[in-house]
Amino acid sequence: MAIERKRPLLFGAIADDLTGGSELAAMMVARGVPTGFSTNLDADITPDSLAHVIALKTRVIPADDAVDLVLRAARKFLSVGCEQIFFKYCATFDSTPAGNIGPCAEALADLLGAKLVLFSPALCETQRTIFQGYMFGVSQILSESPKRFDPLTPMTDSNLVRVLAVQSTVPVGLLAHPVVDRGSQAIRDRCAELIDEGSRFAIVDTIYERDLAAIAEAAAHMPLLTGNASVAAHLPPVWRRSGRLDEARTAELPAVDGSAAILAGSVAPRTDDQLAEFGKQGEIFTVDLSRVLAGEDIAGAALAAAKDAIRRDRPIAIATTVPQEEVERLQRQHGREVAARTAEDFLTGMAHRLIFELGVRRLIIAGGETAGAIVPKLPITRFIVGPYQGLGTGRMVAEMPFPVALMLKSGKLGALDVFSSVLDEMTRPVSIKPYVDEWPPQARMR
């Protein structure tokens, strides 16, 4: 029997990967917004939530399949009276000429009758900014950054207007920084002009955190907004000022103790560095993917290494991370999709065995595609989302027959010591006063 909602769902987010989706949910929780999270389109939307994130694995699947899943998620939100839908993608606009950002956004715009859709992928906390439509990481343009070597979504063009236009059938405009810098009313006025000029999509220049706040205020009543989680984090203050959101809920996450493990499938250099740092005090089992692709049984050796580490009360990382040149060699030999799927399938099997055979209760998964392969296949009945405490580190507790503390880590983000520090933090409960006005919250973090 369906439980009737007492209040409308203010915000329904559809994320194209699980790490970013969990980070977005964590930001909403830190803002004091009751927020649900799911990775399954059949999962219920919690009746007392005011925001909900459905995290899907749609970034690199065929565009038609991605569109189908995104529309199903949107219709689920609409069925409970959702006021605004947010399409969340990576801060580096990870996509290919075929999509999937453009096709999914077009389908959502048609469903919702959106006249203009804003695209705001900037992440000012890491100086990932947009100026004149070009994306920068600090002073480096996107096409000269390590993202040009991404094994699944190599970003070789820094002009996001051009990137989006290639994968879309509608005109793409630019909302330039001189307008954004004048605030939310100027943004609204320019949006009206863009509609008159025939644009349906618009990349939004963003340099400062205050730009994100202005964009959120201007777009708060649009039926559809797209971007990285950072722009959505500025929506709750707008809801409060308009009276749609009242008291802020204390952000809490229960403690979980027990054996600890890391599953790393990301090939990002940052994850490589984090694994090296973790190896100073933890165990690392590096999976030779060439042997797995050749049909050898490596799982037994990985499980034995994990069992030995757990016996000695030490955390273990099981990683398919390999140097860029090895990734390229495996892709040439076996094909990009086969190499990626083999790594994901291996780590998915390891997740089940670590949890159900070896009793792991604290688990970190590094890599968006890796998390998207593993988490939906675990028998999770509910997620308790913890508050945002740092970039790329969406923490939660997954309720199975027992609680398992989870962190889904973006491959590119997180502090150097993120693995050891978060595994330690999982053993202590979290309870923080919400960030009602201040954002980002570094000043109150350790």
CA distance 34 to 303: 38
Residue 59 has pLDDT above 60, yes or no: yes
User: Average pLDDT for residues 353-362, to the nearest whole number?
Assistant: 96
Question: What confidence score (pLDDT) does residue 446 get?
Answer: 36
Residue that wins the pLDDT comparison between 126 and 176 = 176
pLDDT, tens digit (0-9, with 9 covering 90-100), for 183-233:
999 999 999 999 999 999 999 999 999 999 999 999 999 999 999 999 999
The token duo for 114 is: 């959106």
Question: What confidence score (pLDDT) does residue 392 get?
Answer: 64
- CA distances 415 to 122, 275, 366, 441, 443, Å, are 20, 11, 13, 15, 16
Q: Quickly name the fold that domain 11-249 has.
A: Rossmann fold (3.40.50)
DSSP state of 407: E
Pick the CATH number of 255-428 from 3.30.210.10, 3.40.190.10, 3.40.980.20, 3.40.30.10: 3.40.980.20
DSSP state of 295: T
CA distance 256 to 429: 8
Residue that wins the pLDDT comparison between 155 and 202 = 202
Residue that wins the pLDDT comparison between 392 and 444 = 392
User: Average pLDDT for residues 72-82, to the nearest whole number?
Assistant: 96
Residue 324 has pLDDT above 80, yes or no: no
Question: What confidence score (pLDDT) does residue 337 get?
Answer: 74
Question: What confidence score (pLDDT) does residue 115 get?
Answer: 97
Q: Are 32 and 435 in contact (CB under 8 A)?
A: yes
pLDDT, tens digit (0-9, with 9 covering 90-100), for 130-144:
999 999 988 899 888
The C-alpha R_g of the chain, in whole angstroms, comes to 21
Question: What confidence score (pLDDT) does residue 322 get?
Answer: 65
pLDDT, tens digit (0-9, with 9 covering 90-100), for 273-321:
999 999 998 999 988 877 887 788 888 899 999 999 999 999 999 998 6
Q: Cβ atoms within 10 A of the Cβ of 284, count?
A: 18
Question: What confidence score (pLDDT) does residue 146 get?
Answer: 77
332 falls in which pLDDT band (50, 70, 90)? confident
Q: How would you list the strands of the sheet with 128-131, edge to edge?
A: 128-131, 134-137, 140-141
Instruction: Write down the domain spans for the chain.
Output: 11-249, 255-428
Question: What confidence score (pLDDT) does residue 327 get?
Answer: 67
CA of residue 381 relative to chain centroid, distance: 20
Q: Cβ atoms within 10 A of the Cβ of 357, count?
A: 11
Same fold, 11-249 and 255-428: no
Question: What confidence score (pLDDT) does residue 269 get?
Answer: 81
Across the chain, mean pLDDT equals 90
Residue 393 has pLDDT above 70, yes or no: no
6: nearest Cα among 80, 74, 113:
80
Residue 441 has pLDDT above 70, yes or no: yes
Question: What confidence score (pLDDT) does residue 445 get?
Answer: 42
443 falls in which pLDDT band (50, 70, 90)? very low
444 falls in which pLDDT band (50, 70, 90)? very low
3 falls in which pLDDT band (50, 70, 90)? low
